[in-house]
Structure 1
Amino acid sequence: MNRNELEQIAQQGESETIEFKKSTAQIRRAMETLCGMLNGHGGRVLFGITPQGQIVGQTVSDKTLREVVDQPRRFEPPGTVAQTRIDLGDDKELLVLEAQPDPTRRPYIFDGRPYQRVGSTTSVMPQETYHRLLAERPDSRTRWETLRAEGYGVADLDQEEILRTVRLGVAAGRLPESTGGDIPDILHRLELLKGGRLNNAAIVLFGTCFLPDYPQCQLRMARFRGVDKSEFLDQRQIEGHAFALLDEAMLFLRRHLPVAGRVVPGLFEREDEPLFPLEVLREALVNAFCHRDYTIAGGAVSLAIYDDRLEIWSDGTLPSGLTPEDLKRDHTSKPSNPLIAKVFYLRGVIERWGRGTQKIVELCVKAGHPEPEFGEQAGSVWVRFVPSGYIAPHRVAHDLTERQREVLQITAHHGPIPLREIMQQMASPPASATVRDDLYHLKRLELVDSAGHGRGAVWRLRREESS
């Protein structure tokens, strides 16, 4: 770096990768900044430049050099910091320390604390960010799921669920038939028990007691009335191991998911199917349980059903380098919790590594729905399912009955349609006068229109509702 380059840097000012210090008297603050740069994209601290960008230099003594050499030893893990001295003349020098990060070793800490660099500011790294970076390290010993479950033993696990996992794994051809029924041996094979001690993954997968140590083993479910969270029809919050939570979520979906009905050709019966294929939603829930950030103590997987959509949220962020758009195409499998994901795979719940989100998209399209939307917001990852057709509202001025909503759905899918055909499509048709009254009531609410008179009258959804 020559004098011209130095003056250009000073003129541009401080940034995410550049910081000025007037002298090495500020060495500690400089090391905190270098720690933040090691946790980012690297950068340089220049001693001998004021915060205003004035090049003043300083005298660099042997004592100064020893102090500068000693400080980087307080990084954990050891960080690479290169040193450069620039002679300014008149016994003045500029000292440059350059952080050269290794992304596989992040997060770095200095003197016991992690730091981050945001713009030209250095601050203590938030705990959630630190744990996320820690979980991304290739060294599995630092991941949350591999840490010891202090105070928990085999007796604190759902042993029947463990044996069920073995049965399903053997049936799927992913566990050998010789696995047997010895619980500690099974846990050892699944890498959930080492040296006689359980890890956190064992609690997430099979635990029976969660509070106060594992509040994150939680599922939140809600069926909202309308298209926002102002009012709900059902709301539940439960704790449990991942397989129990998955079962509870599927029960909730079967109870509250709108039904798309159709008449089977050649039969006087109606076949009811969930609006969204349950296989799609199960895949999305499994994805959430495997990839969520369990270091967030108050975190959870959330399932929300609205009149016009369904959403699944999980606390955490996407793996470094992945975007929501990447989830719809081929991408590297980077499960945040590979041990947990491995047990789901051995049990036969996950079919192929790295194909979960693509499978969700393919099954949705196959069922005739738009591609689901993936997103990342406020420290959470979400997937949103939107139906291809009309969904009858629960409330217009006042609550609609289930029969009135059924009439709306039939009219939306088959209109213009006469009264007699509406009744043929209904699961349990009442008297024709009752259905006629419902239609006129819906017409007064401006939800349907009619054309013709008497037996020749046909009904259709109003254009405003079907658009």
Structure 2
Amino acid sequence: MDIKELRLLVSAGESESVEFKKSTAQLRRAAETLCGMLNSSGGRVLIGVTPEGRIVGQTVSDKTIREVAEVLQKFEPPASIAQDRVNVSDHKVVLVLEAIPNPESRPYVFDGRPYQRIGSTTSIMPQATYQRLLNERAHSRIRWENQPAEGYNNADLDSEEILRTVRLGIAAGRLPESTGNAIPDILERFGLLRDGRLNQASIVLFGSHFIPDYPQCQLRLARFRGVNKSEFLDQRQIEGHAFYLLQEAMMFLRRHLPVAGRVIPGLFERKDEPLFPLEALREALVNAFCHRDYTIIGGAVSLAIFDDRLEIWSDGTLPFDLKPEDLKREHPSRPRNPLISQVFYLRGMIERWGRGTQKIVELCVKAGHPEPEFGEQAGSVWVRFLPSGYIAPHRVAHDLTERQRELLQILAQQGPAPLREIRKRLSAPPSDRMIQEDLAHLRRLDLVESTGRGRGAAYLLRKTNE
């Protein structure tokens, strides 16, 4: 740092990442502030600048250097504090102490006490915050995913999927082209092989045929008839590694997700697309596989499609004091399973910066749908996708035919319509008599009502069912 950079920094004033101290007589208070910065996002203490922002500097002798070194030894765990000196006159310098935090080492303490930095103020950290950071530190070092997969070796992994991950990682620019095809080397690069032993993350990501000791590597799929769980149209339970489960989930979505039609502007052509953007659903599934709690032996990722919504559930609560409402705004990226998340990142399937849930919201809003809902219930985290408009039910008093459901969708999009207009919009129009019989049936079920008589009659959805 030179004097020009120093003046620019001082001109911005004190903040969460910058504090002024007039001299090393305040060295202890400076260290307390550095501790608070280590427990946050880092920062600098400028010694030789008054609280008002006047650069005065100070003389730095051998004794001063020893005093600084002694104080910096009082951090636990050992902290990375960079030192710099900026000449401000012939004999005086500003001493710049920069705290460079390691998130896995937090919480830091100075002289036996933890400190926090909020705005431009340093204070003793509350006990609850200190305990939470201690728990996070323990999690970063002793996690389910980085424990050894006892009794398993490379032969128990899907080598083709490992090599596919390398190819995709190179194509995404996240792995060097020199990565190679040697499975042990790749696993070491991914952090899945340590001292010749596989860890449990390797089983989640690439386990094959499938591993009986890992029943939590499961996906539950369901297409329900109606808006509750009383009857299935289709249900499946699948075991496998995460990439296989993701592929199966996307195939299930393509089979069962309702199709919404739209007219392409300028072409007057109708294009049928899945009701919800597949990219948003894929992002939600990837989030579930990356962040779920794999210590729950009977746990799974669950995908449920109803007539009026779609839900994705994953077992385990939100980590690190995150709340469901945090997921729609900027929030720290602190994955529960960083090794698993890292491989998804290298494969080009996620970003690092905790924007996955925000991306889901943006994609749904762009497609014209309401914002998805996020929640936490009974030890699980869920996301619920809701459509922007009417979705015809599969069942009311009993099953509806495909043509009857199509009639409901036409009335939802068209509004009140006479028989001739309805007939034009049916994909395979039968006789007028059959259409009238279907409409009469829908009226008896209180789904449709009519206005007028004879040729002037028009049909519309009942307001209570919109």
Instruction: Give TM-score, length-normalised by structure 2.
Output: 0.69
Conserved? CA contact 1:270–1:427, under 8 Å: no
Give the deviation of 1:292 after TM superposition. 0.2
> What is the Cα deviation at residue 380 of structure 1?
0.7
Distance 1:400 1:392, change over 3 A: same
Q: Corresponding residue for 1:375? A: 375
Structure 2 alignment gaps of length 5 or more: 1-108, 110-126
Alignment of 1:154-193 (within 5 A): 154-193=154-193
Task: State the match for 1:246 in structure 2.
Answer: 246
* Kept in 2: contact 1:263–1:425 (CA 8 A): no
Match of 2:254, SS? helix
Give the SS at the match of 1:331. Answer: coil
- What one-letter code is carried by the residue in structure 2 that aligns with 1:389? G
* Aligned match of 1:425: 425
Q: Which residue of 2 aligns with 1:297?
A: 297
Relative to structure 1, is the Cα distance of residues 319 and 310 closer, same or farther in structure 2, using a 3 angstrom cutoff? same
Q: Give the 3 Å change call, closer, same or farther, for CA 407–100 of structure 1 in structure 2.
A: closer
Q: Distance in 2 between matches of 1:299 and 1:425?
A: 46
Which residue is 2:366 aligned to? 366
> In 2 relative to 1, CA 243–424 (structure 1 residues): closer, same or farther, beyond 3 Å?
farther
Aligned AA (2:402): E
Separation in structure 1 between the aligned mates of residue 424 and residue 271 of structure 2, nearest angstrom: 13
Separation in structure 2 between the aligned mates of residue 385 and residue 99 of structure 1, nearest angstrom: 35
Q: Call closer, same or farther: CA 1:424–1:197 in 2, change over 3 Å.
A: farther
Contact 1:262-1:425 at 8 Å conserved across structures: no
Which letter does structure 2 place at the counterpart of 1:345? Y
> Over residues 213-240 of structure 1, what are the superposed CA-to-partner deviations in whole Å (9 max), with x where a residue is unaligned?
1000000111111221111111111101
Note the residue ranges of structure 1 that are not aligned, 5 or more in a row. 1-79, 81-97, 107-135
The match for 2:459 is 459
User: Within 2, Cα distance between the matches of 1:190 and 1:435?
Assistant: 60
- d(CA) in 2 for partners of 1:147 and 1:453? 74
Q: Output one character per residue of 1:366-399: Cα deviation in whole Å (capped at 9) or x when no partner.
A: 1111111111111111111111211111112111
Shift of 1:253: 1.0
- Judge conservation of contact 1:375–1:381 (CA < 8 Å) in 2: yes
- Distance in 1, matches of 2:418 and 2:262, equals 17
Give, in whole Å, the separation in 1 of the partners of 2:419 and 2:128.
Answer: 76
Partner of 1:353: 353
1:289-342: per-residue Cα shift (whole Å, max 9, x none)?
000000110000011111111111101111122111111100001110011111
Distance (whole Å) between structure 2 residues aligned to residue 348 and residue 411 of structure 1: 42
Shift of the alpha carbon at 1:209?
Answer: 3.6
Once the two structures are superposed, the pairs formed by residues 86-125 of structure 1 within 5 Å of their partners are 102-106=131-135
CA–CA separation in structure 1 for the residues paired with 2:128 and 2:371? 43
For 1:349-373, what per-residue CA distance to the aligned partner results, in whole angstroms no more than 9, with x for missing partners?
1134200011111111111111111
What is the identity, as a one-letter code, of the residue corresponding to 2:169? G
Judged with a 3 Å threshold, the aligned counterparts in structure 2 of structure 1 residues 266 and 416 are, in CA distance, closer, same or farther, namely: farther
Q: Residue 270 of structure 1: CA displacement?
A: 3.5
Distance between the aligned counterparts of 1:409 and 1:210, measured in 2? 43
The worse-fitting range, judged by mean Cα deviation, of 435-444 and 260-269 is 260-269
Q: 1:215 to 1:452 in 2, by over 3 A?
A: same
Query: Residues 262-341 of structure 1 correspond to what in structure 2 (within 5 A)?
Result: 262-264=262-264, 270-341=270-341
The answer to whether the 8 A contact 2:333-2:352 is kept is no
Q: Is the CA contact 1:163–1:181 (under 8 Å) kept in the aligned structure 2?
A: yes
Given the two structures, how large is their TM-score scaled by the length of structure 1? 0.69
Letter in 2 for 1:291: H
The aligned amino acid for 1:350 is I
Q: Secondary structure at the match of 1:145?
A: coil
Residues of 1 paired with 2:393 and 2:429: CA distance?
Answer: 20
Stretch deviating more after TM superposition (329-338 or 317-326): 317-326
Q: State the 1:202 CA deviation.
A: 0.6
CA gap of 1:458–1:187, structure 2 versus 1, over 3 A, is: same
SS, match of residue 145 in structure 2: helix
Change (3 A) 1:151 1:438: same
Paired with 1:154 and 1:424, the residues of 2 have a C-alpha distance of 61
Partner of 2:13: none
Task: Write the distance in 1 (CA, Å) between the matches of 2:158 and 2:429.
Answer: 46
- How big is the shift at 1:147? 0.7
1:257 aligned residue: 257
Whole-Å separation in 2 of the counterparts to 1:218 and 1:145: 16
- Counterparts in 2 of 1:139 and 1:375: CA distance versus 1, 3 Å: closer
In the comparison of the two structures, how many residue pairs are matched? 341
Tell me if structure 2 keeps the 8 A contact 1:140–1:146.
Answer: no
AA in 2 matched with 1:374 = F
Instruction: For 1:417 and 1:382, locate their aligned partners in 2 and report how far apart those are by CA, in whole Å.
Output: 39
Distance of 2:159 and 2:196 partners within structure 1: 16
- Identity of paired residues, percent? 76
